[in-house]
Amino acid sequence: MAKLINDIKEKFNKQYANIDKRIVVCGGTGCIAGGSQQVYEAFQKEYKKRGLPYTVEITDGCREHSTYISKSGCQGFCAQGPLVSVGDIFYTKVKVSDVEEIVEKTVMKGEVIDRLLYVNPTDQKHCKTLKDIPFYQKQHRILLADCGKINPEDINEYIAHGGYEGLAKALEKGQQFVIDEMKTSGLRGRGGAGFPTWLKWDLTRKPQSKVKYMICNGDEGDPGAYMDRSLLEGNPHSVVEGMIIAGFAIGATRGFFYIRAEYPLAIERVQKAIDACYKKGLLGKNILGSGFSYDLEIRFGAGAFVCGEETALITSIEGNRGTPRPKPPFPAVKGLWGKPTSINNVETLANVPYIMTKGGAWYASMGSGKSTGTKVFAMTGKVKNTGLIEVPLGITVKEVVYDIGGGPLHGDKVKAVQTGGPSGGVIDGDHFHMPITYESLQEIGSIMGSGGLIVMDETDCMVDIAKFYLEFCVDESCGKCSPCRIGGYQLLGYLNKITDGTAKEEDLQKIEEIATAMKRASLCALGQTAPNPVLSTLKFFRHEYDEHIKDKRCHTGKCKNLAKFEITDKCVGCGMCKKACPVGAISGEIRQKHSIDQSKCIKCGQCFNTCKLKAIIRG
Amino acid sequence: MSQGTNTREDISDIIKKWKKVEGSLVMMLHSVQSRLGYVPRWAAMEISKETGIALAKIYEVLTFYSFFKLTKPAKYQINVCIGTACYLKGAPELLKAIEKYTGLKDGQTSEDGKFSVMGLRCIGCCGLAPVISVNGKIHGQLKAGDIKTILDEATKGE
Ligand SMILES: Cc1cc2nc3c(=O)[nH]c(=O)nc-3n(C[C@H](O)[C@H](O)[C@H](O)COP(=O)(O)O)c2cc1C
Ligand code: FES
């Protein structure tokens, strides 16, 4: 079996020997939005113009001393895109107009163009290669390593990097081997709940059934998270390989990718990967001569958060409204079309090929306690460096936010970090030294979730954040069970009262009662976890709730109905605020202190943003 | 897009392709929407007739998933991400600026069918927050002041 894989590898390496240099243009969604496709084309044009040999595909036809102009998946540093690397040299914010200079100087003469290097915001150091950038230094990239390097649309390159060796090994050594390695690895589901992957597979393998299904959960509903999207786009073969190995381990006949329709590029790349596998005999009948036959296809999600929940997802693949059903029976016993089914998250599956080739013990050597391996997070919000990061579990929040994230965005203090999206909670400043594991997060009332990690500073109102998440869950509640449908709505009503300034102190008691009822009685985890953001902010930021309720004040100015703008004695009467005010609520003579007519003020904050002297206070 | 014979043929091809596949109603609706930009009633009725799935069930599914549209999309579809990252970095201000430009709030379509404004939950570009997309083209790292330029540019030649 390994022979076929080896042949492909050798052939690719032979073809690649003609490549002298490689230019990688990031083809992740973020960089494409910034114009990376045009940059990619501009490089080809520039080479053509100069008559230099280049190729955009590794084939037998590559001329000697060619440059390989290739695209990669998301490299994680989206805010700095479009990213281009020439060999080791790493350029950020590259525009079409830079291309000529890059070819002229960097490609032809090996010179570095200083202006395009990343400048580290904390020490102003210009970083020449990826390794010089603090954002990457503290990471431990396994899944993402190839993501930013290889061409996601070339199965041969994936194989040349060790791809499908894990599959060959699994097929050779048998189901038990796969399950044992997975058990040793300690890998737990990355979709949120952290269920041991080996156990899920073992439970699905046991029932006798001619037909079994494997599902990859690519619904990625947590708003503010895009790990799965990046993996599917950047290294689709790793997920496809994971799906084939998983299918083999449980004895499945067919597998489904369930990917949100909002991710067209991910869908396209996975489809290409599947097609390439069929061509090479890695899918279909009698895979690699092992006797194992297995088919894969894609089904689209359609914008319903609840469909990320496994039973709802199954109902959706069956062609229905995606509403959840009670468990048990668990999908391992009765899943898709009533057959034993294992459903795993994208990132969970992407880990599998690495565990097969490098061994479960290697995987378990990373991480901390029962949380082994690495985890990909999408770090966003008020930090200097936002982007995709992969870190060993057990790393502290502080290391993530300060060492990798570069600290607070505007110098304001980082107030809290949110994980787990609408089902999760916040970590307050006192817990920043805490190692990130499944257990530790649960202990303080949050969850690992799928990997959204949102940094908040003093300008964010915690009540407003809680309301934001709850609104999301209320919107997305499928309506099937009443604790979630009615409870969520009620809870939101109380939060609205708080942010409007009409709440009473007793209302906090009510909030806790409703939250408890929802947690206990909801049908699926959407409703069971929907109160988490509220409870968790209430636990750590009770004073902010009190401020809204008792003092009728929101010091961040986010809660518009409570906001009050006032002009202080710092005002020099420049008149800027008066011009900016859309409703004419500000009056005053030039060079004299202005004032705001509170009855006219619509609390839009324009004056506050306009004033250069910070003479307007919000509170 | 007219409802000419071509369109009808395309729709019946889509139905034929998916008809025999188990649980394919959602995929069929995706294909129809991707061909027409929305799922008009006549197409839903055609699916019902060809597959035997009750029209009520088709609408049950169509209305459950927010991705499906029942009315013809506007000429300029402005989607504003209101996912967490974008929300924190100023999506509400962008919505306000868009309202100023188009007169439309989240979820509205102008009567002449020129603009529609939709809030979406995370389009996976959080690294570029806040983001909007105009007819699928993504614009990131925006400030409220950028909206006019983007929309002027998009509607150039009107
Ligand atoms: C409301 C809700 C949304 C969910 N969304 C996702 C999702 O987008 N992606 C995902 O992998 N798991 C999601 N899950 C978790 C899945 O139900 C399931 O636990 C997971 O896919 C199992 O895979 P794993 O064991 O590999 O983590 C969600 C759960 C709930 C309750
Ligand atoms: S939150 Fe806006 S793109 Fe993710």
A551 pLDDT more than 50: yes
User: Which chain A residues contact residue B26 at CB under 8 A?
Assistant: 299-300, 302, 316, 319
pLDDT, mean of residues A533-559: 94
Q: Is B125 in the pocket of ligand 2 (CB under 6 A)?
A: yes
Q: Are A540 and A426 in contact (CB under 8 A)?
A: yes
Residue among A77, A304, A319 whose CB faces B25 most closely:
A319
A87 & A170 share domain: no
Residue whose token pair is 């489904």 = A256
Q: What confidence category does residue B125 fall into, taking pLDDT thresholds of 50, 70 and 90?
A: confident
A353 & A437 share domain: no
A404 belongs to a structural domain: yes
A488 pLDDT more than 90: yes
Q: Are B32 and B43 in contact (CB under 8 A)?
A: yes
Residue whose token pair is 């890998």 = A187
**CA distance linking residue B156 with residue A14, whole number of Å:** 51
A479 & A592 share domain: no
Structure confidence at residue B4 (pLDDT) = 57
* Among the listed residues B118, B120, B125, B115, the one whose alpha carbon sits nearest the alpha carbon of residue B154: B115
Q: What is the CATH number of the domain that holds A318?
A: 3.40.50.11540
Structure confidence at residue A147 (pLDDT) = 86
Bridge partners, A90 (sequence order): A85
What the block records as the tokens of A73 is 């998946």
Left, alpha or beta for A288 (phi > 0: left; psi -120 to 50: alpha)? left
Q: What is the mean pLDDT of chain A?
A: 94
CA of A348 vs chain B CAs: smallest distance (Å): 19
Bridge partners, A69 (sequence order): A23
Instruction: Find the closest chain A residue to B59 by CA distance.
Output: A321
Q: Are strands A213-218 and A341-345 parallel, antiparallel or unpaired?
A: parallel
Left, alpha or beta for A420 (phi > 0: left; psi -120 to 50: alpha)? left
A454 & A542 share domain: no
* Among the listed residues A185, A248, A239, A186, the one whose alpha carbon sits nearest the alpha carbon of residue A217: A239
Q: What is the CATH number of the domain that holds A493?
A: 1.20.1440.230
pLDDT tens for A338-386 read 999 999 999 999 999 999 999 999 999 999 999 999 999 999 999 988 8
A156 belongs to a structural domain: no
**DSSP character string of A313-329:** HHHHHTTS------SSS
Structure confidence at residue A149 (pLDDT) = 87
pLDDT tens for A73-125 read 988 888 898 999 999 999 999 999 999 999 999 999 999 999 999 998 878 89
* Among the listed residues A229, A328, A225, A329, the one whose alpha carbon sits nearest the alpha carbon of residue A270: A229
Cis peptide before A207 (omega within 30 of 0): no
Domain count, chain A: 5
A306 CA to centre of ligand 1 in angstroms: 9
**CA distance linking residue B46 with residue A523, whole number of Å:** 35
The domains located in chain B, with CATH, are 5-64 (no CATH), 76-154 (3.40.30.10)
A171 & A309 share domain: yes
A191 pLDDT more than 80: yes
CA of A79 vs chain B CAs: smallest distance (Å): 5
Q: What confidence category does residue A563 fall into, taking pLDDT thresholds of 50, 70 and 90?
A: confident
Structure confidence at residue A512 (pLDDT) = 95
A84 & A189 share domain: no
In single-letter form, the type of residue at position A124 comes to Q
pLDDT tens for B40-84 read 999 999 999 999 999 999 999 999 999 999 999 999 999 999 999
**CA distance linking residue A267 with residue A306, whole number of Å:** 20
A82 & A228 share domain: no
pLDDT tens for A216-234 read 999 998 888 899 999 999 9
Percent of chain A with pLDDT over 70: 100
A119 & A218 share domain: no
Q: What is the CATH number of the domain that holds A613?
A: 3.30.70.20
CA angle, residues B8, B11, B16, in degrees to nearest 5: 125
A141 belongs to a structural domain: no
Q: What is the CATH number of the domain that holds A408?
A: 3.10.20.600
Structure confidence at residue A599 (pLDDT) = 87
Domain boundary (A550, A574, A592) is at A550
pLDDT, mean of residues A433-450: 94
Residue to probe by mutation, ligand 2, list B94, B122, B128, B133, most atoms within 8 Å of CB:
B122
A245 & A347 share domain: yes
Residue A494 has phi, psi (to 5 degrees) of -65, -40
* Among the bound ligands, the one closest to the CA of B142: 2
A299 & A345 share domain: yes
A386 belongs to a structural domain: yes
Q: Is B138 in the pocket of ligand 2 (CB under 6 A)?
A: no
Q: Where are the alpha helices (DSSP H) in A501-619?
A: 506-521, 525-529, 532-540, 542-549, 576-580, 606-610
Domain boundary (A304, A334, A364) is at A364
* Among the listed residues A493, A501, A606, A504, the one whose alpha carbon sits nearest the alpha carbon of residue A562: A501
* Among the listed residues A120, A154, A150, A149, the one whose alpha carbon sits nearest the alpha carbon of residue A137: A120
B1 pLDDT more than 80: no
A151 belongs to a structural domain: no
Q: Give residue A596's domain range.
A: 564-618
Write down the pTM of the prediction. Answer: 0.92
A6 belongs to a structural domain: no
A448 & A321 share domain: no
A146 belongs to a structural domain: no
B2 pLDDT more than 70: no
Tell whether B68 lies on the interface with A, counting CB pairs under 8 A. Answer: yes
Bridge partners, B97 (sequence order): none
Q: Are A452 and A224 in contact (CB under 8 A)?
A: yes
C-alpha of A231 from chain center: 9
Domain boundary (A436, A460, A484) is at A460
Q: What is the end-to-end Cα distance of chain A in Å, rounded?
A: 69
User: Which chain B residues contact residue A381 at CB under 8 A?
Assistant: 84-85, 88-89
A266 & A173 share domain: yes
Q: Are B127 and B92 in contact (CB under 8 A)?
A: no
User: Which chain A residues contact residue B47 at CB under 8 A?
Assistant: none
A519 belongs to a structural domain: yes
CA angle, residues A564, A567, A573, in degrees to nearest 5: 150
